[in-house]
Every structure is written in C-alpha cells, then in structure tokens.
Amino acid sequence: MTTIWDVAREAGVSPSTVSNVIHGRPVVKPDTRQRVLEAIEKLNFHPSRVAQGLRQQSSRAVGFLVLDPNPRWPTDPLHAEVLAGMSEAATEHDYSLLLDRPSGNGCLTARELLQPFRSGQIDAAVVALAGTSASHQHVLEELNRADVLFAVLEREIEGRCAYSVMSANADGARAATQKLIGDGHEQIAFLDSEQMWPAIELRLSGYRRAMHEAGLGDHILISSSPDWTSTGGATAMRNLLERCDREGRPYPTAILAGNDVLAVGAMHVLRERGLCVPANIAVIGFDDFEFARYVDPPLTTVRLPAHEMGKRAVEMLIRHIEGDPPTQRKLVLPTELVVRQSG
C-alpha cells in the first residue's frame, strides 16, 4: 500500500508538505504543490478516509515524558540535547511538542504517563524514566496494554505501538576503560550516582566487563554521587579519596565518570587536593556535552548521540502516526571515544 511517506520521497518533500497539499492548505509553493500532485498521480495514492479522520482528530503533538527526580531536569544537558533533536524532527513534520514530568515520587503509575494521551494533548510520546531498567518495567507494560504510541529511551521494549531508541552505552564505557588500561592504568574507579538510570547501568556493565577481561576484577572501585550534578561529582570524588585514606590504599590512577558533569566535579576536587589531571589521575567522562572541550584540561569523553536519539525517536513515531510504521522497532546508535587531554 502506498503511504504518504512514499509520496514524500517521490516528490522530494516532507510528509507534512504532502499532508498540506492533500488538505488544501495554502502554505505550499505552487511548484512544490505541482510536484506533490504529480507524485500522487504517479503512485496512484489514495489517502485512507479512516486515516484522514484520525488525523483530523489528532493533536499533531508529541510528548516528552520524563521521570527525573531533579526538578530542574529541562536544564540537564542530556535532556536538552534529546529535546533539541525532538524539536528538529517535530518542526520538520509540522508537529508540536509537549513536555511533562510525572510526579515520580517512587510510586510511578501508568496513569500519570497516560494522562496526556487520554486528554488528547498528544498523539505519541518519547519516554525517559529514571531508575533501574527493572524498576518501572510494569509501567511500560501497562502502556503497552493501553495501546498508546511511545518510544522509550535507553530501554528495550516490545509491543505493537512501542519503540526503543538506545545508544551503545556499554560499548562506549568498555572502550573508555580499555583505553585507560592500554595506557597502563590498573586502579581505575567508576563514578556513578545513587539516582540510577538505565544508561548508567549499561555504562557500569561496560566498565566491569573491560576490567574483568583485563584480569583487573579485584581492582573494581565504585563511588556514588547523591545526584547528577557537578557538586555531586565532587562529593563522589571526595568520598573516594577519603575512603582510600581511611583504608590505607593508594588513590586510583584513573577515573571513568558516569557523565561529563560528574567528571567536572571530580576534577575540581582533584585540583583542591593538589593532584594534576592527567599526570596524577586521568579522567574520562561520558556524553561529550558542549562544555567538555572547554574545561581545563579538555575532557576526554565518550560521545553520546543524544540529539540524534531525540530526532530519530520522533521520526519513528510520526511515521507510525502517518501510516508507515518502521519495521525496525529497536534502534541502537553508536558511541565514540573522543580523546582530549584529561585522560
């Protein structure tokens, strides 16, 4: 069956432009309109009356539903990058965005996530949930049973209207740890947070795997921050050094941080202690936020395609809405180790 996406590809325009032509909206240039009409005729495209009726009732909006214990979550660099990618895709296809943060007081229910769907505010949603992968699995299963359209970030999910958009977190952390091991480091510590996310679980597993593969399983050392802030990273680093002092053990010679924000906080404490990065302790972050290249020294980190994740998630959802659901329900985007001066 020919879809609106087929017409868009044939005419070299976006699906939203095809939709504007079909509905007679006076926003399309005459030459573009003619290309679209010719593509419709060539492909013998007949818009489904049912689909048209659904679209007329559609809100033409995609939600970004985030469970994050930090009330300032929209300012988090990762969320901001994902949101920028979502915005780019939504604008291209003439959709709007809705941001919502469920109360998430530890007892998240599907009702909170379903509310924007049931109120007609959104047609689909990109979902990001804090906690371990298992902690909210029941909620995702309820969303599946409700038959709403969603894409979940950094978790695997199956369902008729469910998509997964992930990055190669474990591979990225493994590559970063292997780089440090290759540089001669054996005492490598990992900084994470008490506020766990599925992506961090994967990064921690990549670190552990690389350490075990190198025969350094006995050297695994983890220190947790109270949150995902630079202040939290400083606390985790300070606690790690104090723990080494109490136990009479040498400081680690390298740090792999769960994200760049923790890495910056850790580097601040190292400077306070008179320790040089990377001469005394090498530091590698994760995410490659914009500031990473401007800290002193510039931060070696693992680049996460957060912008691309947001964009691709929205594109998958809109394709489903417009009647051309992607056959690939799980998308895994690669990470990249970016070597600078900190490690």
Residue among 212, 267, 262, 270 at smallest CA distance from 244? 270
The answer to whether residue 103 sits within a structural domain is yes
The answer to whether residue 185 sits within a structural domain is yes
Assigned token pair, 2: 């020919």
pLDDT tens digit string along 11-65?
998 877 887 777 666 678 888 888 988 888 888 776 543 344 444 456 789 999 9
pLDDT at 54: 44
The answer to whether residue 342 sits within a structural domain is no
269 has pLDDT over 50: yes
CATH code (residue 47) = 1.10.260.40
Helix (H, G, I), strand (E, B) or coil at 126: strand
Q: What is the DSSP letter of 74?
A: G
Mean pLDDT of 163-190: 97
Q: Where in the sequence is the domain holding 8, given as residue range(s)?
A: 4-56
CATH code (residue 67) = 3.40.50.2300
Regarding whether 275 and 240 lie in a shared domain, the answer is yes
Regarding whether 257 and 186 lie in a shared domain, the answer is yes
Q: How many domains does the chain have?
A: 3
Domain-terminating residue out of 23, 40, 56: 56
The answer to whether residue 340 sits within a structural domain is no
Give me the helix-helix angle, 15-22 and 30-43, nearest 10°.
Answer: 90
Average pLDDT score, the chain: 89
Question: Above pLDDT 70, what percent of the chain?
Answer: 92
Regarding whether 43 and 107 lie in a shared domain, the answer is no
Do the beta carbons of residue 95 and residue 61 sit within 8 Å?
yes
Whole-angstrom Cα distance, residue 326 to residue 16? 17
Helix (H, G, I), strand (E, B) or coil at 121: coil
The answer to whether residue 339 sits within a structural domain is no
pLDDT at 36: 87
Regarding whether 115 and 39 lie in a shared domain, the answer is no
Mean pLDDT of 170-182: 98
Regarding whether 67 and 40 lie in a shared domain, the answer is no
Regarding whether 326 and 222 lie in a shared domain, the answer is no
Regarding whether 174 and 241 lie in a shared domain, the answer is yes
Mean pLDDT of 229-249: 95
pLDDT at 1: 57
Q: How many CB atoms sit inside 10 A of residue 78's CB?
A: 23
259 has pLDDT over 90: yes
Please give the residue that has the higher pLDDT: either 337 or 6: 337
List, in order, residues 6 or more apart from 97 with CB less than 8 Å away. Answer: 61, 62, 63, 64, 83, 86, 87, 90
Mean pLDDT of 134-140: 84
pLDDT tens digit string along 272-319?
999 999 999 999 999 999 999 999 999 999 999 999 999 999 999 999
The answer to whether residue 26 sits within a structural domain is yes
Regarding whether 132 and 35 lie in a shared domain, the answer is no
Assigned token pair, 222: 């983890």
Please give the residue that has the higher pLDDT: either 107 or 4: 4
The answer to whether residue 84 sits within a structural domain is yes
Regarding whether 135 and 21 lie in a shared domain, the answer is no
Regarding whether 182 and 288 lie in a shared domain, the answer is yes
271 has pLDDT over 70: yes
Regarding whether 161 and 234 lie in a shared domain, the answer is no
Whole-angstrom Cα distance, residue 150 to residue 131? 19
The answer to whether residue 199 sits within a structural domain is yes
Regarding whether 32 and 82 lie in a shared domain, the answer is no
Beta strand segments in the chain, E: 61-67, 96-100, 124-129, 149-153, 162-167, 188-193, 221-225, 254-257, 282-287, 300-303, 330-333, 336-338
Kindly report the pTM of this predicted structure. 0.81
Lowest mean pLDDT among 58-62, 192-196, 217-221, 244-248: 58-62
